[in-house]
Amino acid sequence: MLLRLDSVQRHFGGVRAVDGVSLEVEQGTIQGLIGPNGAGKTTLVNVLTGYVPFQAGHAWVGADELTGLPAHRIAALGVARTFQNIRLFKELTAIENVLVGMHTRRRDDTLAQLATLPLFRRDQRGRLNEAHKLMDTVGLASRDVGDRPAGTLPYGDQRRLEIARALALRPRLLILDEPAAGMNPSEKHRIRELIEHLNADGLTILLIDHDMRLVMGVCNRVAVLNFGRKIADGTPEEVSTDAGVIKAYLGAGSEREVRSVPGASGVDEATEAEEVAGSGGRSVEPENAILEVHDLTVSYGAITAVRGASFRVAPGEIVALIGANGAGKSTILNTLSGLLRPDGGSAMFDGLDLTAAKPSAIVRHGLVHVPEGREILARQTVLENLELATWARRSSTGTHGQIELVMKRFPILGERRDMRAGTLSGGEQQMLAIARGLLAKPRLLLLDEPSLGLAPQMVDEVFRAIEDIHADGTTILLVEQNALRALAIADRAYVIETGQIQLSGSGDELLHNPAVRRAYLGG
Ligand SMILES: Nc1ncnc2c1ncn2[C@@H]1O[C@H](COP(=O)(O)OP(=O)(O)OP(=O)(O)O)[C@@H](O)[C@H]1O
Ligand SMILES: [Mg+2]
């Protein structure tokens, strides 16, 4: 047994985040850890890696007890991890981030370095080479992106960089907290190959992810948490057909109709695609647009992220932008909300020049952006976050009723209303970010990866919410790696590759376009 947890407990006030969890991870295996949003997965990892103190229980890696050790000592015992909310040094280059990861490796290292300078230099060169190799291992072209500040890399690449940094520790146990979040199916497939490759080299892996296909496909065993307790532990087959697990994922009553956890097989996706086939959509560019983007070009220093993109959104439409990581989708949204300034081209929203207006003026004009990676106010309470979201609205009447409504939609936000938003789980923060976007009642809502980090049942809830506010008259521009879901609700969509629009059509057309299916829908 490489990792052994015995009755680990961690409560926060009345919240039983981890409530007596025992788990054994065998050397050389890939162990999955799944569960609904807020189930306690990240907290369990935070406890066993020394980021949050144990309250009760014990943990061992090999013969070494982890209980009570600080994070750096646990790292030095060969336990490496990635973070759900990416924790890179954003100002440092990608390579420097990997080098930082080597520091905790051996406790005697630093002394040896100080003692003899020439040796230090030789060691530095060796480390630099190793850092480049690690970046290449995780699928980042180190020659191209090694010198870029980590914060400027696309979200998916930042996740890969986190894995490279964790590997720099030369760990015995690698813990991955949602490594595939924000990736499309083909990118997820490469993450799966990476996990398998690392495991084949002898690394033991503990994998947390909401993508059931990934988890069930790659893990030897899977444990399931719900409300801080372990409710199942077994092979993927056993776990995905376990009645208690299905209930935890779908709510009471569901176990009669469904025989496995949603997303655990490809079945859902095929039926969804068929349903959409009958719905038909508009494929022509609209005549009257509320948003008109023409020949937009945006760069980060020497790197051009968006190259002459043109598209239109008509009032009342849902338009999706799909494409791989780094294709330029988030850059486009950030430019439309005034966070970035383009090098060229135009973007008009209902008479307002978005390339010149201040972000605050853009919001007041009725354009609200829910950015990728949440960006909630961590120190403010959940309720304060929601209240702040309503400032952009023209009238404040009914604000509290609206807040109550979103709390009904996302009950956990009601339960946590007086807690600091920073203490919410990853998925709960995502719900808060979306709830804020909904509350702002914009005329045009830009949503960047709304399904990020959400368990399957919450993804359904969020897509229902998007359709509801759309039905209320809000126009929506949606960026989403879950292209299948995005195309299923979109009137029209644009496919973006390396900063250029390659293809456009109705959601339906693109859903059935073989090239799109291959590239973005995983089939
Ligand atoms: N520091 C804290 N103070 C108060 N409550 C906390 C704190 N940290 C976590 N919680 C609560 O504990 C519960 C478990 O959170 P955790 O982050 O472990 O969930 P998770 O399983 O990782 O969920 P997700 O899939 O959404 O990432 C959540 O309901 C969260 O609100
Ligand atoms: Mg988590």
Q: Is 114 exposed, middle or buried (0-12, 13-18, 19+ CB in 10 A)?
A: exposed
Could you give the strand order of the β-sheet that contains 79-81, starting from the edge strand earlier in sequence?
A: 79-81, 173-177, 204-208, 30-34, 221-226, 229-234
Pairing of strands 3-12, 15-25: antiparallel
Taking Cα atoms as reference points, which of 49, 40, 4 lies closest to residue 22? Answer: 4
Q: How far is the CA of 9 from the centre of ligand 2 (A)?
A: 16
Q: Domain map of the chain by residue range?
A: 1-78+171-265, 278-521
Ligand closest to CA 46: 1
Q: Whose CA is nearest to atom 19 of ligand 1?
A: 38
Q: CB-side exposure of 185: number of CA atoms within 13 Å?
A: 17
Q: pLDDT at position 394, please?
A: 58
Domain 1-78+171-265 matching CATH 3.40.50.300: the answer reads yes
Q: Whose CA is nearest to atom 1 of ligand 1?
A: 423
Q: How far is the CA of 452 from the centre of ligand 1 (A)?
A: 16
DSSP code at position 154: -
Establish whether residue 456 lines the binding site of ligand 1, counting it when its CB lies within 6 angstroms of any ligand atom: no
Q: For ligand 1, what atom is nearest to the CA of residue 13? A: 4
Establish whether residue 454 lines the binding site of ligand 1, counting it when its CB lies within 6 angstroms of any ligand atom: no
DSSP code at position 520: I
Task: Please give the structure tokens belonging to residue 26.
Answer: 């065998």
Task: Please give the structure tokens belonging to residue 124.
Answer: 């530095």
DSSP code at position 286: P
Collapsing DSSP states into helix, strand and coil, what is residue 63?
coil
Q: CB-side exposure of 134: number of CA atoms within 13 Å?
A: 27
Q: For ligand 1, what atom is nearest to the CA of residue 412? A: 29
How many H-runs (helices) and E-runs (strands) does the chain carry?
22, 20
Q: pLDDT at position 271, please?
A: 36
Specify whether the backbone of 139 is left (phi greater than 0), alpha (psi in -120 to 50) or beta.
left
Task: Please give the structure tokens belonging to residue 33.
Answer: 């850890």
Q: pLDDT at position 118, please?
A: 58
Q: How far is the CA of 114 from the centre of ligand 2 (A)?
A: 39
Domain 278-521 matching CATH 3.40.50.720: the answer reads no
Return the amino acid letter for 282: R
Q: Whose CA is nearest to atom 25 of ligand 1?
A: 37
Establish whether residue 430 lines the binding site of ligand 1, counting it when its CB lies within 6 angstroms of any ligand atom: no
Helix (H) or strand (E) holding 292: strand 291-300
The reported pTM is 0.85
Q: For ligand 1, what atom is nearest to the CA of residue 429? A: 26
- Residue 272 CB coordination number (10 Å): 15
Return the amino acid letter for 183: M
Establish whether residue 450 lines the binding site of ligand 1, counting it when its CB lies within 6 angstroms of any ligand atom: no
Task: Please give the structure tokens belonging to residue 195.
Answer: 């996990």
Taking Cα atoms as reference points, which of 363, 364, 419 lies closest to residue 386? Answer: 419
> What is the per-residue DSSP string for 449-500?
-TTTT--HHHHHHHHHHHHHHHHTT-EEEEE-S-HHHHHHH-SEEEEEETTE
Collapsing DSSP states into helix, strand and coil, what is residue 366?
coil
- For the chain, the first-to-last Cα distance in angstroms comes to 37
How does pLDDT run along the chain (523 residues), one tens digit per residue? 999 999 999 999 889 999 999 999 999 999 999 999 999 999 999 999 999 999 999 999 999 999 999 999 999 999 999 998 888 999 999 999 999 988 776 554 555 555 555 555 667 788 899 999 999 999 999 888 999 999 888 888 999 999 999 999 999 999 999 999 888 877 888 899 999 999 999 999 999 999 988 999 999 999 999 999 999 999 999 999 999 998 887 665 444 455 556 555 443 343 333 333 333 444 568 888 999 999 999 998 878 899 999 999 999 999 999 988 888 999 999 999 999 999 999 999 999 999 999 999 999 999 999 988 777 889 999 999 999 888 766 566 678 888 998 899 899 999 999 999 999 999 999 999 999 998 888 999 999 999 988 988 888 888 998 998 899 899 999 999 888 889 999 999 999 988 999 899 999 999 888 888 877 766 5
Q: Whose CA is nearest to atom 12 of ligand 1?
A: 17
Helix (H) or strand (E) holding 66: none
Q: pLDDT at position 105, please?
A: 67
Common-topology check for domains 1-78+171-265 and 278-521: yes
Q: pLDDT at position 154, please?
A: 84
Q: Which residues surround ligand 2, an ion (CB under 5 A)?
A: 41-42, 84, 425-426
Q: 3-state DSSP: the chain helix, strand, coil percent, rounded to 5?
A: 40, 25, 35
Q: How far is the CA of 192 from the centre of ligand 1 (A)?
A: 26
Helix (H) or strand (E) holding 507: helix 507-511
Cα separation, 328 vs 324, in Å, equals 9
Q: How far is the CA of 28 from the centre of ligand 1 (A)?
A: 28
Taking Cα atoms as reference points, which of 282, 268, 329 lies closest to residue 523? Answer: 268
Establish whether residue 37 lines the binding site of ligand 1, counting it when its CB lies within 6 angstroms of any ligand atom: yes
**Size of the chain, expressed as the number of residues it contains:** 523
